[in-house]
Chains A and B, each alone.
Chain A
Amino acid sequence: MTEQRRVLRFNLAERAAHWVLAVSFLLLFLTGAALVFRSLVHLLGPSGLRITSRLHHVVAYAFTFGPVAVLLLTTPKTTREWLRTIFTWTKEDLAFLASFPKEFFGLKVELPSQGKFNAGEKVNSLLTLFGSVLMVATGWVMLFRDSFPKAVLAWAYPLHDAGALLMGSVILGHVYLALLHPGSRESINGMLRGTVSEKFARDHHAKWYEEISKSA
C-alpha cells in the first residue's frame, strides 16, 4: 500500500500558539471554576481557593501574552492570513453552517467545499478571538482594580463570568469535534504533527487543497 501523502496545515508557531492558548485556557477555566461554581468552594476551602486564585492570576500572563507573542513575532504572515480568512464569509460558508447540524449528529449530508478553515472553524476562531480579548480586558481590570473607575471594575465581573461560560461552552464543542467526532477528528493531527492526510485535505478543505497544490 502506498503511504498516504501528508499536507502541512499548521506550522510550528501556529501549533505552539494554539497549545499555549488551550492549556492556559483550561487551567484558567479550572482555577476560575470555583469562583463561579459554589459547590467547589467546600472542596477547596479558603486556603485552597487562595491558591487557585493566585494560580489563575499567574496563568493569566501566559494566556494574555503567549499566543499573541508567538503568532505576531514568529509567523505574522500566516496570522494575517488567518485573520483575513475568518472575517471573509462566502455563500459556501453559510451553506456549510446550515448543513452542519445534520453532520454534527451523524446524518449524511453534502457539505460545500471549504478553505483552510471551514465555516465552523471560522466561527470557533471568531468566538475564541473575541472571547479572549474580552477575558483579557476584563481580567486585567479586575487584577488592577485600583487603577480603574468603580463602574468599569463592577461590569468586568459579569462580563468575565459570561465570557468564561461562553468560551467554556465553545471549547466543549471544539474538543468533541477535534477528538471524537468522526467527520473531523483527524484534524487533531494537524494541530499535533502539523500535517493532515491528502485525503482529509481533499475531502474537507478542498478549496485550500487546490490552492496549495497549485503553488507547490
Chain B
Amino acid sequence: MAKYAMLVDLNRCVDCQACTVACQAQYGLEPDKRFTTVRRYEWGTYPDVQGAFVTTQCMHCDKPPCAEVCPTGASYKHQDGAVLIDESRCIGCRYCLTACPYDARVYDETKKVARKCSFCYAEVAKGKAPACGKTCMAGARIFGDLDNPSSDIAKAVAGKGVVKIAGTSIYYAVPRSLERSYLPKDGEVPAYVSAWQGFVQPAGKALLGGVAGVVVLAALANNLRSHGEKSASGEEGSSHD
C-alpha cells in the first residue's frame, strides 16, 4: 500500500503547457478536454507587476465528493490515495463533474464517460512516471509515495515554502510573492453534496419507508376492523360501503 501524492514546484514551472498536451496525448483526449492545465496570474500596478504560473488538476481528495455522488461506484478512492474511475462502470451521468470543487473532470463525448487525472495509475503501476512529470522540461512535478521516506516526494514536501492543499494529495512549492488565494482551495465537500448525500438521501428514504410502514399498518388495521365487524354482526355477503 502506498500514499501517492504530487508536488508542483511553481518556482520551476515555466507555463509551457507541455504537461497539458502530454497528458492529452497519453489518454487520447479531445483538444478541448484537459486533465491538467497551467495558468498565468499577474498582480500589481505597472511598473511593479509580478506574475506566477499555477497548475491545476484532480486533487485526489481525501474525501472525494465525486465518489460520494457516483451512483455506480465507478469513481472511487483507491487505498493508495489515488481517486480513480473504473470507466467500464461509468454511465456518463456526470454527477461527478458537478460535484468536483476543482472542475477537474471532463466528459469524453466519444467514450461517453467521465474522465480525469488518474496520477497515470496504470503507468505508475509499471514503475513509470506520470506523463506530465515525465515530459516537464522544468522538472516541476514530483510524484511518488509519501509513505516512502526516501522518495523524492517525501523529501520535497518537507522543503521550504511548501503548501499542502488540505484534504487533498496535492502540494505546491510556492514563490514567496504568490498569495495562497491563487492556489486551488482546500479540499471540501460542497454543501449541496452534503445536503444531498448526507440529508436528503437518508431522510427521504426514511420518509418513504415510514410512509410505506404506515400504509401497511393502516391496511392491516382496516382489515382487522372489517374482519372484526363481520364476525361480530355475523353478516354474510359483501357490505356496501
- A interface list, Cβ under 8 A from B: 34-38, 41, 46, 49-50, 53, 104-107, 145, 150, 153-155, 157-158, 161-162, 164-166, 168-170, 172-173, 176, 180-183, 186, 199
Do most interface residues of chain A lie in helix, strand or loop, or is the interface mixed?
helix
Identify A41's interface contact among B73, B211, B212, CB under 8 A. B73
Q: Would you give the shortest CB distance from A165 to chain B, in whole angstroms?
A: 3
Name the A residues within 8 Å of B219 (CB-CB): 176, 180-181
Name the A residues within 8 Å of B241 (CB-CB): 182-183, 186
Is there an interface contact between B192 and A46, defined as CB atoms closer than 8 Å? Answer: no
Q: How many angstroms between the C-alpha atoms of A153 and B200 in the bound complex?
A: 16
Count, A-B residue pairs, CB within 8 A: 98
Q: Which residue of B lies closest to A34 (CB)?
A: B71
Do most interface residues of chain B lie in helix, strand or loop, or is the interface mixed?
helix
Name the A residues within 8 Å of B217 (CB-CB): 105
Q: Does B21 contact A (CB under 8 A)?
A: no
Of the A-B pairs whose beta carbons lie under 8 Å apart in the complex, a sample of 7, sorted by A's number, is A106-B218, A153-B98, A157-B69, A161-B201, A165-B207, A173-B215, A181-B219
Name the B residues within 8 Å of A145 (CB-CB): 94, 98
Q: How many angstroms between the C-alpha atoms of A38 and B72 in the bound complex?
A: 7
Name the B residues within 8 Å of A50 (CB-CB): 91-92
Q: Would you give the shortest CB distance from B213 to chain A, in whole angstroms?
A: 10
Name the B residues within 8 Å of A173 (CB-CB): 211, 214-215
Take A161-B201, A165-B200, A172-B215 as given contacts and tell me if A155 and B192 are in contact as well, using a CB distance cutoff of 8 Å: yes
Q: Would you give the shortest CB distance from B74 to chain A, in whole angstroms?
A: 8
Is there an interface contact between A168 and B208, defined as CB atoms closer than 8 Å? Answer: yes
Q: Does B138 contact A (CB under 8 A)?
A: no
Identify B221's interface contact among A49, A105, A158, A162, CB under 8 A. A105
Q: How many angstroms between the C-alpha atoms of A50 and B113 in the bound complex?
A: 11
Name the A residues within 8 Å of B122 (CB-CB): none
